[in-house]
Amino acid sequence: MERVLLGSTGVPVSRFAFGAMPFGGAADRAESERLFHRCREVGIDHFDTADVYTGGESERILGELVAPCRDYASRYGDPEVFDVAERFTALAERHGHHPAALAVAWVAAHPAVTAPLLGANSLAQLDQVLGCVEIDVTPDLYEEISALSRAPAPATDRSEESQGITYGKR
């Protein structure tokens, strides 16, 4: 299977991805497992799923199937990811915000972001996320959040960032 870089992340992935929408729906658990293992046999390591696919069952099944894969664990199992999440949650609490609301507000404060996509599984979750509307992400708060993790490599597919184009001031 040919390998390609995932956008500008530098992460190599299979040239083809598999859409796991049928997992837990048109494909029962056993068939989902067969589909997953066949993809892995031919070198596919890039799967798409979403919480709306089969009421979240697709994500649950794929998560269980991918958990034992060493390459998945090496890509997403870095303890730093969990450390950053814990520090972000603590920062949100110190500032009196729900972590989901602060995360959305921080993303919205980036000059290249037009409209963050909100999502929720319940009205209670949506109300938590909508707290982002009330958060004033000052330059100091933006930097405090940004400093929690290392900066990613520049996105080479978005030249407006490197040129300082902001498409409007926030």
Segment 1-29 shows an average pLDDT of: 85
Do residues 59 and 97 share a domain?
no
The residue type of 73 is A
Question: pLDDT class for 49, splitting at 50, 70, 90?
Answer: confident
Which residues are CB-contacts of 19 (< 8 A; sequence separation ≥ 6)?
47, 48, 49
Do residues 87 and 156 share a domain?
yes
Do residues 43 and 15 share a domain?
yes
pLDDT of residue 85: 87
Do residues 149 and 103 share a domain?
yes
Does the pLDDT value for residue 157 go beyond 50? no
Segment 45-73 shows an average pLDDT of: 82
Which residues are CB-contacts of 91 (< 8 A; sequence separation ≥ 6)?
102, 144, 145, 148
Segment 155-164 shows an average pLDDT of: 50
| Cut 0.75: pTM above it | no
Domain stop point among 53, 76, 99? 76
pLDDT of residue 169: 44
Domain membership of residue 168 (yes or no) is no
The residue type of 96 is G
Domain count, the chain: 2
For residue 124, give its domain range. 79-162
Q: Among 2-6, 82-86, 148-152, 154-158, name the one with the lowest average pLDDT.
A: 154-158
Segment 105-123 shows an average pLDDT of: 86
pLDDT tens track for 131-152:
999 999 999 999 999 999 877 6
Q: Among 9-13, 18-22, 39-43, 105-109, name the one with the lowest average pLDDT.
A: 9-13
CA–CA distance, 47 with 2 (Å, rounded to integer): 15
State the maximum Cα–Cα separation within the chain, in Å, rounded to a whole number.
52
Strand partners for 48: 19
Domain stop point among 27, 52, 76? 76
Domain stop point among 61, 76, 91? 76
Domain membership of residue 158 (yes or no) is yes
Domain membership of residue 167 (yes or no) is no
